[in-house]
Amino acid sequence: MIRVNLSLIKEAILDILYPQDILCILCQKRHGDIDDKGLCPDCRESLPYVTQPVCQKCGRTITEETGFCLECVYNQYHFRQAVSVFDYTPEIQHLIHRFKYRGVSYLSHVLGYWMAETYKQRCRWEIDLIVPVPLHPRRERERGFNQSALLAGEIGKNIGVKVVRGALIRRKYTPAQVGLNKLQRRQNLWDAFEVKESDKVKDRNILLVDDVFTTGSTVDECSRVLMEAGAKQVYVLTLATGRLTRG
């Protein structure tokens, strides 16, 4: 009769599910001093948090205490304000790509925690509900999950606000936004989103959650349809903010 050591099986499963116990989730190097967020001491000290001064509208880092970046001076967004946790450095980009494209979905626990802590420390918004930026059903099937929904779920648990999925849907399958300029992104997203349950968003202050703020086209289009459906205000929280590119 074969005897099964359940404790060894449990440890093996945990090693598979939580490799951050072995490797730093950021630098992917082996360390003996990994904290409860999966970071080695060096990476923990060098996390590229967005620091002041930042644009008071879109949350991008700016070089002077002017209040707003040039993009927000000359353009009008439909959301009230956006805040991001990190600058979109190569290290953060790699971490997000592992999360989104390599199926490392357990990272949502850590990434969502960082987003929730940033919300608590930097945001003074009165939020009624959280809405993740939706994926088209086809893309969600291809990926296996909606990364924004996973992040929203973690944020909701940490700040005690209800997450509503299904009120905002992506009704049009669009090409990936990577590599597109601002105008192309806006054209790509036109009429892509729809509010299906307007009663859930009407007269509500909404926290819209996404992974990366690049040009702001995605969250702005989502904000537009939410506001047209009767939302009171839309605020945006993203994990990272990309560098401003023109064109």
- What's the pLDDT at 215? 87
pLDDT of residue 175: 65
Angle at CA 115, nearest 5°, toward 242 and 64?
45
Residue-level pLDDT at 19: 52
Report pLDDT digits (tens) over 126-172. Answer: 999 999 999 999 989 988 999 999 999 999 999 999 999 999 999 98
Residue 246: predicted pLDDT: 43
Buried b (16+ CB within 10 A) or exposed e, 60-92: bbbeeeeeebebbeeeebbbbbbbbbbbbeebb
Low-confidence ranges of the chain (pLDDT < 70): 1-8, 10-21, 175-182, 243-247
pTM for the structure as a whole: 0.85
pLDDT of the residue at 247: 37
Domains with residue ranges and CATH for the chain: 1-46 (no CATH), 48-241 (3.40.50.2020)
Within 8 A by CB and 6+ apart from 59, the residues are 50, 81, 82, 83, 84, 213, 236, 238, 241
Report the 3 state secondary structure along the chain. CCCCCHHHHHHHHHHHHCHHHCECCCCCCECCCCCCCCCCHHHHHCCCECCCCECCCCCCECCCCCCCCHHHHHCCCCCCEEEEEEECCHHHHHHHHHHHHCCCCCHHHHHHHHHHHHHHHHCCCCCCEEEECCCCHHHHHHHCCCHHHHHHHHHHHHHCCCECCCCEEECCCCCCCCCCCHHHHHHHHCCCEEECCHHHHCCCEEEEEEEEECCCHHHHHHHHHHHHCCCCEEEEEEEEECCCCCC
